[in-house]
Structure 1
Amino acid sequence: MSFDWSHLRFFLAVARTGRLTAAAAQLATDHATVSRRIAALEQALSARLFERSPRGSVLTPAGESLLAHVEQMENVAARIQNDIAGSDLALSGAVRIGAPDGFGSFFLAPRIGELCRRYPELDVQLIAMPRIFSLSKREADIAIGLTRPTEGRLVARKLTDYHLHLYASRAYLAAHSPIETPDDLADHLMIGYIPDLIFTPELDYLPQVPADLKVRLTSSNLIAQMRAAVAGTGVCVIPDFMAATEPELAPVLADRITITRTFWLIMHADLKDTARIRAAATFIGEQVERNRALFMPG
């Protein structure tokens, strides 16, 4: 072997963060060490792996090719730990769960403590953000998505369908004109997503509302939209499992307008059988099944 295998850790960190300083922080070392390791790897391979600019480090074609190999090595290393390590060790370490803000904060966060108690050596990292998580880049070990992936080495299973309805605060409804038909919504302030920041088409709810809407308050965050509705700002499309936590919210035209979406549990094919990931995925599935009525009430 003409190069030091340990250099690949540094290469992977820079490839994923795009900056030497960020990679150094991730690896608990300094900028100079990362730079030296990358230079040594490039010299050993006789190839330039990154194009450097003030904006950061971008992979060259040779770097892209190497990244694919290194990610495969990373997956093999994870499988080795799962296959060879004892059962106690296999259920230790970190598992990172990426989920949309609503599911992560309102459903999973209040229940995740049971997973921690069940496996005391497991470090659970819950990322509840409105975004798509890249499992190949290790942004998460498990992702909760709104669509079933069709590309990459990913496996997915359906968790549940869930309903969304229009909601407004009881105070808002009492202070404004009645909403008896979809056409009445034209007289009310609507709350929704910022169109160009919708990270997946499944969140583009408002075109499914058959009315001339005045969307005057927008946010990239569903929790922010919901809090605005609770405060009496206007009418908002909210998942039923979130609205159920706020007694101040009342459904609007629930018998006329229902939107249905699906949550998928997604894992990388090479890591789905790793004990810590399998344990967390099983737990999430159990919790959803146990609370299915929250997602599909009535």
Structure 2
Amino acid sequence: MRTFDWEFLPHFLAVARAGNLRAAAEMVGTSHGTVNRNIQALETSYGVRLFHRSRQGFSLTEFGEALLPMAEDAEQKIFAARKRVEGFDRSEAGKIRFSLTPILAYDIVAPIVARFSEQYPEIDIEMRLTSEVESITNDETDISLRAAQDVTDDVVARKLFQLEIGVYASKEYLENTVPNAGADGVGLTWIGAPTNRTPQSWSRPSPFPNATLRHEVSDGQMRVHFVNLSVGMSHLPTLIEPAFPNIRRMPGTHVSPGPWLWVLLHSDLRRTVRVRRFVDFLTEELRALHKAGKHSRSI
């Protein structure tokens, strides 16, 4: 393989995965014209066509199909090499890519990151807010805060605590809407998440089986804000309580066990000082917040 082929392989992989130049260009952070030129240069280097081109996009030829697993293997080895070298970093400086869901980010984790930044001014955090599970092994992120029952990824996983889920509404909703509700929640509104479940299965575990599921919102943070705006009630993690004093638990409801909260990181990064400092700080702060919430609910 010629030396410059290494430069073109990420563009080959992006087109193979995206199926068109524009989406591939977004993946590698360049223009679609650059991606096209590099694909053509790679094909010239190998002396074969790697893609069929049509109005529908790009599809792999038999030569492209043969190259794909080897290019992916090379990509993984490069990722592993970078992580291995980063793992020897002993300094309290540099950047950490941190992936987490929006419902935990704005009002729960952001204050923790702010306090961490004061204590470690030379460590920069690139927060990646997404409801998707970003891959640590594929180098999409360095550290991930994930809610899950179990973790099977090939990563270092620190199990924090089991989340608790309650039914919440705003203070105004409790004062103005709930007293006028009919039997079993008639007249009340659920704010749910898009699922394959029926409205009845969403509300059955609560005292409000006759409440209406009117809104379905995939983003957890948006559900919190709808509840705060008195749009309706919703199932939310109890961790939101300190950040939203206007949001209260619905009367007659109880918290139920949810998924576990995990901090995940690449095995090679656990020796990196800045990563270890951040993971330890985040873990301690979240556990303290969870413990304080349980104590306040028991009083």
TM-score by structure 2 length? 0.77
Amino acid across the alignment from 2:249? P
C-alpha displacement of 1:213:
4.1
C-alpha displacement of 1:224:
1.7
Alignment of 1:263-278 (within 5 A): 263-278=261-276
Over the aligned positions, Cα root-mean-square deviation in angstroms equals 3.5
1:225 paired residue among 202, 223, 226: 223
What does residue 167 of structure 1 align with? Answer: 168
C-alpha displacement of 1:54:
5.6
- Whether 1:142 and 2:143 are equivalent positions in the alignment is yes
C-alpha displacement of 1:34:
2.9
CA–CA distance in 2 between the matches of 1:156 and 1:103? 18
- Seen in structure 2, the aligned counterparts of structure 1 residues 50 and 80 have a Cα distance that, compared at 3 Å, is farther
Alignment of 1:191-210 (within 5 A): 191-195=191-195, 206=203, 208-209=205-206
CA–CA distance in 2 between the matches of 1:205 and 1:91? 46
Percent of aligned pairs with the same amino acid:
25
Number of equivalences: 286
Amino acid across the alignment from 2:105? G
- Seen in structure 2, the aligned counterparts of structure 1 residues 77 and 172 have a Cα distance that, compared at 3 Å, is closer
What does residue 6 of structure 1 align with? Answer: 7
C-alpha displacement of 1:27:
5.7
Residues 113-158 of structure 1: CA deviation (Å, up to 9, x unaligned): 233334434331112232222224433221121223324x233221
Alignment of 1:150-189 (within 5 A): 150-151=152-153, 153-178=154-179, 184-189=184-189
1:63 paired residue among 60, 65, 68: 68
Residues 91-122 of structure 1: CA deviation (Å, up to 9, x unaligned): 32x32211111111221112212333344343
- Seen in structure 2, the aligned counterparts of structure 1 residues 135 and 82 have a Cα distance that, compared at 3 Å, is closer
CA–CA distance in 1 between the matches of 2:86 and 2:255? 50
Residues 165-193 of structure 1: CA deviation (Å, up to 9, x unaligned): 11112222222354999x72344211111
What does residue 37 of structure 1 align with? Answer: 38
Q: Structure 2 regions of 5+ residues with no counterpart?
A: none
CA–CA distance in 2 between the matches of 1:101 and 1:254? 28
TM-score by structure 1 length? 0.77
Structure 1 counterpart SS, 2:141: coil
Structure 1 counterpart SS, 2:244: coil
2:83 paired residue among 78, 103, 119: 78
- Comparing 26-35 with 228-237, which one deviates more in the overlay? 26-35
- Seen in structure 2, the aligned counterparts of structure 1 residues 177 and 149 have a Cα distance that, compared at 3 Å, is closer
8 A contact 2:86–2:269 mirrored in 1 = no
Q: Larger C-alpha radius of gyration, 1 or 2?
A: 2
